[in-house]
Structure 1
């Protein structure tokens, strides 16, 4: 996959953003059976309504232009609040769908949210093709923020219970197979729980102490600070230590 960048949208991007929005709803609107002119007018009206709503409800959110290999391919509109990273809109041109770009963008947001110990929240239309992607990345439906037209979904940084359940299920650490092999008991320290996880990687993998991206089918994407702690002829054990806020 080509290198991805996301930059803040500027006034000159308006036509592109309108095209991305129209393409994201083209299949839905085609089902209405309207003439092309009526469909275009409806999509333009809907785009303006969405823009006004986003700017009013999330004034600090950033509307971003997603580019692959320097070419604009989509939109990522995100509000980075104190309590959550909220995805207001993620949409790609048809030619960019199914290429891994959406997955990469969401995994990046998961890692960003995990570092802040806040969830990633989003909404999606029932039956939309993106629901399968969100499920695969660990997002789960929630009643908070849901409506008749939208499913509210949320991904939370994994705590002790999630890591314990992930033991034995392989993931990937900086491109290298990595197996969560052990999760220590959680130690409760006031409003936090502290625990450690042992990850096993192949013996020939060169990992120094530091931060590396970990991707896991159940946990999502996380930037883990790991410390090499043991070595055998078959594998190297890396230890990551966590302190997570817990409900009182």
Structure 2
């Protein structure tokens, strides 16, 4: 079953989660072609920030022409054309990509949890940082990412408009051990960029930083949490399911076959 065939009966929830997801991880450049949302970010290679996002299953006019225009726009940014296929993607567009042999480039599960299930805790044992530069340095070290990504990641986080908590766990003689971002948007909170340093994975740090972020958001008024986790990341999926997260829908990235 493809991402566009799942959860058709719950499209309002999908639409809302897509909208808060875009706000939580903003692209540098946003354009519309009808209901197709183009997100492009020259400073960061994230597929979520560099993809076409169809938002109306009934918007199927001029598919070939629009895909050609999209390819040109992405090429101008030095990015490959990617369509982010969700339950909102028109089935006719999915069939078009299938017939043309478009490859699937990664699948992601969107999950939600009710914060009422969190353990009762009247306080915060870990306060978020306001220092974006410090958080970005910690995230790059924890994830083992290329330090060249720092300017782009800093720009993305600074562009987040909803209230944001930057969580950094550290040890004095080691440095950062775990990180997470909590983006509080009305009654929802998104958890992004959660990571644990390789040497300490499996020690409970992932659960600790996740719960710290969720407790902060709950005190801010959030009632439900959402995450987007890659389908092949078994450890992360297990972490979120232990915390009460359940699958809502999936999406994948589709790109034209190489010539």
TM-score scaled to structure 1, two decimals? 0.41
Q: Give the strand-richer structure, 1 or 2.
A: 1
Q: Rg: which structure is higher?
A: 1
Normalised by the length of structure 2, the TM-score is: 0.40
Select the structure with the greater relative contact order (CA < 8 A; seq sep ≥ 6).
2
Q: Give the helix-richer structure, 1 or 2.
A: 2
